[in-house]
Structure 1
Amino acid sequence: MKKLICSLLIALPLTTHASSTLRCDSGLISLQDSTSIVSSKCGEPISREFVGYREVQDEYGFYNEVAVEEWAYGPRNGMFQFLRFEGNRLIKIDSKRGR
């Protein structure tokens, strides 16, 4: 699966478009949606990669370690969507056009 992602990234140009929402077949997803909401609205991604852990600070000033995952969807109308999750919450949506 890692080879597939690497192949996709090599074939894509360097330009990226970040967004706060993404339309899937079954609705709209937004930043801060959970992994279960995204998966129920968008289905299974073409790839799902565990990136590692990241330390984040909560609203009380405490630090917690959260898991980081990246999911890829597409191509849809020539675009690939890359979603980044931290602590099972969607924090970033990038779209890249394939060649």
Structure 2
Amino acid sequence: MKTLICSLLFVLPLTAHASSTLRCDSGLISLKDSTSIVSNKCGEPISREFVGYREVLDEYGFRNEVAVEEWAYGPRNGMYQFLRFEGNRLIKIESKRGK
């Protein structure tokens, strides 16, 4: 049992951590923020990747195709932050420890 706990403690810091907010140099960003708000508060990402398109339903039930992008920031205290946008809105914030 002690070996299992030690193994988990070693593995846990390498796993991803999802959050609904992220502190940047000039403020706090949150899920549903636009790409322009994130860019203004966090600056330019170290990488910006177009992932593709995703079909979503709008509030009226109509299907729309939106662009999906992933931005990366870091390292900051050994952590990288990965932000996923759909239709220019932040939908996911994930932090991972650098290798």
TM bin (shorter chain) = 0.7 to 0.9
The equivalent residue for 1:52 is: 52
Pairing 1:76–2:87 present: no
Alignment-mate amino acid for residue 70 of structure 1: E
Distance 2:52 2:59 in 1: 22
Q: Distance in 2 between matches of 1:28 and 1:97?
A: 20
Per the alignment, residue 88 of structure 2 pairs with 88
Partner-residue secondary structure (3-state), 2:36: helix
Q: CA-atom RMSD, angstroms?
A: 1.1
Q: Which runs of 5+ in 1 are unaligned?
A: 1-12
Count of aligned positions: 87
Cα contact 2:72–2:81 (8 A) shared by 1: yes
User: Quick one: which amino acid aligns to residue 42 of structure 2?
Assistant: C
TM-score w.r.t. length of structure 1: 0.85
Tell me the TM-score normalised to structure 2 length: 0.85
Q: How does 1:3-82 map to 2 (within 5 A)?
A: 15-82=15-82
One-letter code aligned to 2:44: E
Deviations 1:17-63 (A, max 9, x none): 00000000000000000000000000000000000000000111100
Letter aligned with residue 36 of structure 2: S
Matches of 1:59 and 1:45, distance apart in 2? 31
| Whole-angstrom distance in 1 between the partners of 2:14 and 2:21 | 21
> What letter is aligned with 1:40?
N
Q: Percent identity?
A: 91
Residue 14 of structure 1 and its aligned partner are, at CA, apart by 5.6
